[in-house]
Chain A
Amino acid sequence: MTLPIPDVAQPSRRALLQTGGGFALAFFLGVGSARATISARPQPGDAELAAREGATFAPNALIRIDREGPVRLVMPNVEMGQGVYTTEAMLLAEELDVGLDQVIVQHAPPIDALYGTPLLKSQTTGGSTTVRANWMILREAGAVARAMLISAAAEQWGVPAAECVTKAGVVKHAASGRSATYNELAEAAARQQTPEKVGLKDPKDFKLVGKPMRRIDSPSKVDGSAIFGIDIRVPDMQVAYVITCPTAGGTLKSVKEDEARKQPGVKDVIRLPHGVAVTAPNYWAAKKAAEALEIEWDHGPNVDFSTEGLFKALDEASRTGKALVARSDGPLDRKGKTIEAVYQHPILAHAPMEPLNAVVHVRPDACEIWVGSQVPTRAVGAAAKLTGLPEDKIILHNQYLGGGFGRRLEVDSVELAVNIAKQVPYPVKMIWSREHDIRHDIPRTAYLDRVSAVVDDEGYPVVWKDRTCGASVPKRWAPQMLRKDGFDADLTECSDELSYDIPAFHVEWVPHDMPEAIPIGWWRGVGPTHNIFKVEGFVDELAHAAGKDPVEFRRKMLTKNPRPLSVLNKAAEAIGWGEKLPPRVGRGVAFASPFGSHVCAIAEVEVSPRGVIRIRRGVAAIDCGPVMNPNTVEAQIQGGLIFGWTMALFNEITFEKGAVKQSNFHDYRMMRLNETPPIEVHIVKNEGPIGGMGEVGTAIAAPALANAVFAATGVRLRRLPLDPRLLADP
């Protein structure tokens, strides 16, 4: 079939990473396979895609073996730092029996049916789902390819397949002394039947999985050759600088462009519903010209929106609003001493290091997009809608992401770039300034949580009640995720299922929407990041009220739950819990089971007499079931903790008169190297179900820190970010 490949020069690229290229999306989706996801075996459309990519042997959508050169592995998920290209490549290569030095990886094109993650039913990288959902499929995909290579060899040599073995990309037959490389066998393998069943390796024979492997993407990221979305250059491209109304939902009233037009290099001034874009051959010229525009805004309906007002409204709603119940069970009417607390969580920006960007070329017959996206198929859908082109005319090239953290689960930047590119004949590279990136984020929303417990004579909770109040992300992002009555499980993730032994539970959510012009989004650690801060802070409060050691207190409530208990014990042992510490130094523990993993973090802090928090040490223990790459597990926990501590120490987006006050790293601070303590990560081995990794560290960070601050100062901070002014030694 003819595929709509436009006559556009491809950006030059290093051999390591080849672009997936464009293809006919509708062809794959048109056969009713929209709910299909990745598979070890060929799916409708697979062969055409492989042919277009020039693959000799393509046993499935994930593996390409050519007559020469390395094995090409197509990555169904996108790499944003979590190490997924290496992990997915390890799983494929393990069962295929090739070394990681024999493969290259390439970005998958956007096709839910071939590259969708089963847990999310779409080609989405997020929610710490990738390995959890895909690991067995990827192993099987490697095994299928290996089996076909073996049968090709056996057929050529006239020997039983069972007598052939594989090693490092070579099939061997010991008795005849014959051997052939996968490259040599590719053509013959392509003619083999796909096996119905394949055997998988015994984990004890793993050569890659479970070993600390070097990341596949590191070399190019260390020498500058890796291409991120922002690095794409296509012929005749112009760079677009965007100015959007500072007030959320405000619109463009008028713009005078005379001065801007006088700036050197300026190409076009493009009006948009909520702003203006200026294009020029480079970012600087576009920026200079855009800054010379005289713009008048209609600030719209949100001029009175403020963070202060939002928290007042949340407080009111959480007292009087109608709640949707997540869970209510056990003897809730038990009487006894009751302890209550209110926890508050700020609005947060994602601030990935790579500011949002997209390269878009809209032509009469097609639209080509280069972007780093966690949701490439969603981006295709959005572009189709805006251009009026069918989805099979939208060609998207996914790229490395310079940080995702949930920000690139949104396609607003792609939409904006398409809206600009629609108005000009040339390809447009839209780059957001850092200020734009922070002010026009789709932020994590604010929450206000009321939590209470009735405790027994020893101080252990016998009734646990938790009412969270805030807005729902899926309500906009994926309404199908909601329960029929509108209940959003994200709001109570990690607060409605605790590992602790508590007999009665009531957890509910009071919805309170943000203004429509301020859409809210997923932020690393999603529901758990919000909920664990409160749950583990409150557990600490209960321990303190009971006069018990916080680790002992938790141990007692985990006695029936060995997997969590061993994680808690490991972390406590590693840090030397119980040691005597100097004045204003304290340790805080937090435990939870987010994303199918079990994690315990302990932070040690010192709080200066004037309230300055310094983290001295961090220890974490993690049980994520089978470990793919211990290197990555450690890195994700270390980095995740730093991400979470950054939030806890510094991060809050505040709205005043409907506009975000913060703008760049001087007022939206990031933890820096000299603020980072040594962080030890201990992996607790377990055969249990596999857990996610990418968000676990972030979700557990803040409560460990806040609990440590309490231990050091006796001051319980229930609002993030932690306010050092409350910690000064009186």
Chain B
Amino acid sequence: MRNLVRIAVAIVVLAAIGIAGLAGYRWLHNDRDVMAADAPASPELVRRGEYLAHAADCVACHQVPGGKPYAGGTPFKLPFGVIYSTNITPDKETGIGTWSDDDFVRALHHGVRKDGRHLYPAFPYTSYTRMSRDDAVAIKAYLFSLEPVHAPAKKNELSFPFNQRWAMAFWNMAFLDARRFRDDPDRKPEQNRGDYVANALGHCGECHTPRNLAFALDDGKEFAGADIQGWRAYNITSDKTFGVGAWTDQQLSDYFAKGHAEGRAAASGPMAEAVEYSTRHLNEGDRNALISYLRIVKAQPGPAGTEIAPDPESLKKSTAWAPPADAAKGDLGRKIFEGACASCHQYDGKGQQTPYAGLAGLRSVNDPDGVNLTMALLQGSDLKDINSGAWMPSFAAYSDVELAAVANYVIGHFSGKQGQVTPEKVAERRKQQ
């Protein structure tokens, strides 16, 4: 997934580790894994590569809305500038058409380009480094089977010293553990496979794992949830209260396949993209493996107050067409809900035209801070490719006061909690868009 803050790591690290030498740089050139002749691109290899490219969700970052797949151009807006994803189609001039397998593998495993210069870790090589060479080569074979797109890279707009790519070598020394994934013999095979799908390919942790003070992933808190791009990537550990431990296999499977788990979640924002581009393309085996792995991810607690409220009174008293009498009478949030929201979401939490619009049981409406709720209101939500009815427009044209009011109404009505969304918080999230 796109990770706007990830590059901020650079700041901290550059300041902290200004003393390291070029040892690490030399070391990576001696990585034995990056020394082989190019593999012939058989149709089977291309097919496998296509599957893996989806699993690794390459297109999420390497395509702009309305642009050509893999042609790059996605801006990553950072506090110290903007960097752009690049063209990874086989165009010889502007893409990776001249890259060898080794070049490609080295980029994935070590974050270094063909020309030897460092990539920024907005490109998740810290995860891809676990990918097997075979899989990496297959992805490359798939990319090389695509039509080349002439799309020159947009020039990054970074200020000094962040525009000094070589400095990433120091960061890598501290935070890049450039080792391939190895099966854990104590686990079942599908759990190992799930780990590989989640971490070597899907790089779930890039969003869902909190970061340490140096902005690197905090391995001790794998999948405990983190904030990213204004959204909250939820706790997806096996915790039954705060994670996905209480979800059934079917619910998890539905979520990966369709972006929707009835009574649990509907993917929005960056996760909707992840479902659209990646998880829905997983085959059943990998989907089940992923579920098996999530079952053994160490349970992590979440913030008190974000538990799913069981059967809130307000919801119990609602029908599809009406909220309980006198509840929130005259409330601004309720008024907005009546006009702009109820047509799809209806009052009993089930969703009107489509179950995707059901709000009962969702974490977004059980979070008193309404983080993802606010973001969904501001940005809308889109799973149209999966289900033509699963789509919500952006309500950013409504004022901060109105959005805060409707968010708090939704939290109150669908979880029985007191929403804490303020117009000021809405304004902050609006800026993060």
| A residues apposed to B, CB below 8 Å | 608, 610-612, 662, 664, 666-669, 672-675, 724-725
B78 proximal to A (CB < 8 A): no
B394 proximal to A (CB < 8 A): yes
A612 to chain B, nearest CB (A): 6
- Cβ-defined contact, A667 with B393, below 8 A: yes
B335 proximal to A (CB < 8 A): yes
B354 proximal to A (CB < 8 A): no
- Cβ-defined contact, A666 with B401, below 8 A: no
Chain A residue contacts of B335, Cβ below 8 A: 674-675
- Cβ-defined contact, B339 with A667, below 8 A: no
Closest to B68 in A: A294
- Cβ-defined contact, A612 with B401, below 8 A: yes
Closest to B338 in A: A674
- Cβ-defined contact, B397 with A725, below 8 A: no
B389 proximal to A (CB < 8 A): no
Closest to A609 in B: B401
Chain B residue contacts of A725, Cβ below 8 A: 399
Chain A residue contacts of B340, Cβ below 8 A: 666
Given the known interface contacts A608-B332, A610-B423, A612-B332, the answer about A672 and B339 at a Cβ–Cβ threshold of 8 Å is: yes
| B residues apposed to A, CB below 8 Å | 332, 335, 338-340, 393-399, 401-402, 423
Chain A residue contacts of B339, Cβ below 8 A: 672-675
- Cβ-defined contact, A667 with B397, below 8 A: yes
- Cβ-defined contact, A664 with B332, below 8 A: no
Among B332, B396, B399, contact of A667 (Cβ-Cβ < 8 Å): B396
- Cβ-defined contact, A611 with B397, below 8 A: no
User: Which of A610, A668, A725 neighbours the largest number of chain B CB atoms within 10 Å of its CB?
Assistant: A610
Q: How far is the CA of A662 from the CA of B396 in the complex (A)?
A: 11
A291 to chain B, nearest CB (A): 10
B188 to chain A, nearest CB (A): 43
Q: List 16 A-B contacts (CB under 8 A).
A: A611-B401, A612-B399, A612-B401, A662-B397, A666-B340, A666-B395, A667-B394, A667-B395, A667-B396, A667-B397, A669-B398, A674-B338, A674-B339, A675-B335, A724-B401, A725-B399
Among B393, B396, B399, contact of A724 (Cβ-Cβ < 8 Å): B399
Q: How far is the CA of A126 from the CA of B244 in the complex (A)?
A: 61
Chain B residue contacts of A669, Cβ below 8 A: 397-398
Chain A residue contacts of B338, Cβ below 8 A: 672, 674
Q: How far is the CA of A214 from the CA of B429 in the complex (A)?
A: 52
Q: How far is the CA of A725 from the CA of B395 in the complex (A)?
A: 17
Given the known interface contacts A674-B338, A675-B335, A675-B339, the answer about A612 and B402 at a Cβ–Cβ threshold of 8 Å is: yes
- Cβ-defined contact, B394 with A666, below 8 A: yes
Chain A residue contacts of B393, Cβ below 8 A: 664, 666-667
Chain A residue contacts of B397, Cβ below 8 A: 662, 666-669
Chain B residue contacts of A666, Cβ below 8 A: 340, 393-395, 397
Q: How far is the CA of A612 from the CA of B339 in the complex (A)?
A: 16
Q: How far is the CA of A611 from the CA of B404 in the complex (A)?
A: 13
In addition to A612-B402, A666-B340, 10 A-B residue pairs with Cβ atoms within 8 Å of each other are A608-B401, A612-B332, A612-B399, A666-B393, A667-B393, A669-B398, A675-B335, A675-B339, A724-B399, A724-B401
Chain B residue contacts of A667, Cβ below 8 A: 393-397
Q: How far is the CA of A285 from the CA of B394 in the complex (A)?
A: 25
Chain A residue contacts of B398, Cβ below 8 A: 669
Chain A residue contacts of B402, Cβ below 8 A: 612
B71 to chain A, nearest CB (A): 13
Chain A residue contacts of B396, Cβ below 8 A: 667
Q: How far is the CA of A667 from the CA of B339 in the complex (A)?
A: 13
Closest to B393 in A: A666
Closest to A724 in B: B399
Nearest 6 A/B pairs, CB to CB = A667-B397, A672-B339, A666-B393, A610-B401, A674-B335, A674-B338
Q: How far is the CA of A662 from the CA of B393 in the complex (A)?
A: 12
A477 to chain B, nearest CB (A): 30
Q: How far is the CA of A611 from the CA of B395 in the complex (A)?
A: 19
B57 to chain A, nearest CB (A): 23
Q: How far is the CA of A608 from the CA of B335 in the complex (A)?
A: 14
Closest to A661 in B: B397
Q: How far is the CA of A120 from the CA of B251 in the complex (A)?
A: 66
Q: How far is the CA of A668 from the CA of B395 in the complex (A)?
A: 10
Closest to A652 in B: B397
B227 to chain A, nearest CB (A): 26
Q: How far is the CA of A675 from the CA of B330 in the complex (A)?
A: 10
Q: How far is the CA of A664 from the CA of B340 in the complex (A)?
A: 12
A158 to chain B, nearest CB (A): 69
Chain B residue contacts of A610, Cβ below 8 A: 401, 423
Q: How far is the CA of A674 from the CA of B406 in the complex (A)?
A: 15
B323 to chain A, nearest CB (A): 13
Closest to B339 in A: A672
Q: How far is the CA of A664 from the CA of B391 in the complex (A)?
A: 14
Closest to B330 in A: A614
Closest to B335 in A: A674
Chain B residue contacts of A724, Cβ below 8 A: 399, 401
Closest to A608 in B: B332
Chain B residue contacts of A668, Cβ below 8 A: 397
Q: How far is the CA of A612 from the CA of B423 in the complex (A)?
A: 12
Q: How far is the CA of A724 from the CA of B400 in the complex (A)?
A: 10
Chain A residue contacts of B332, Cβ below 8 A: 608, 612
Q: How far is the CA of A667 from the CA of B379 in the complex (A)?
A: 12
Q: How far is the CA of A404 from the CA of B402 in the complex (A)?
A: 30
B202 to chain A, nearest CB (A): 28
Closest to A295 in B: B66
Q: How far is the CA of A378 from the CA of B423 in the complex (A)?
A: 50
Q: How far is the CA of A662 from the CA of B338 in the complex (A)?
A: 22
A307 to chain B, nearest CB (A): 14
Q: How far is the CA of A414 from the CA of B395 in the complex (A)?
A: 32
Q: How far is the CA of A664 from the CA of B339 in the complex (A)?
A: 14
Chain A residue contacts of B399, Cβ below 8 A: 611-612, 724-725
A727 to chain B, nearest CB (A): 10
Q: How far is the CA of A724 from the CA of B404 in the complex (A)?
A: 14
Q: How far is the CA of A608 from the CA of B423 in the complex (A)?
A: 14
Q: How far is the CA of A667 from the CA of B399 in the complex (A)?
A: 11
Closest to B332 in A: A612
Q: How far is the CA of A612 from the CA of B397 in the complex (A)?
A: 14
Chain B residue contacts of A673, Cβ below 8 A: 339
Q: How far is the CA of A611 from the CA of B335 in the complex (A)?
A: 16
Closest to B423 in A: A610
Q: How far is the CA of A674 from the CA of B399 in the complex (A)?
A: 18
Chain B residue contacts of A672, Cβ below 8 A: 338-339
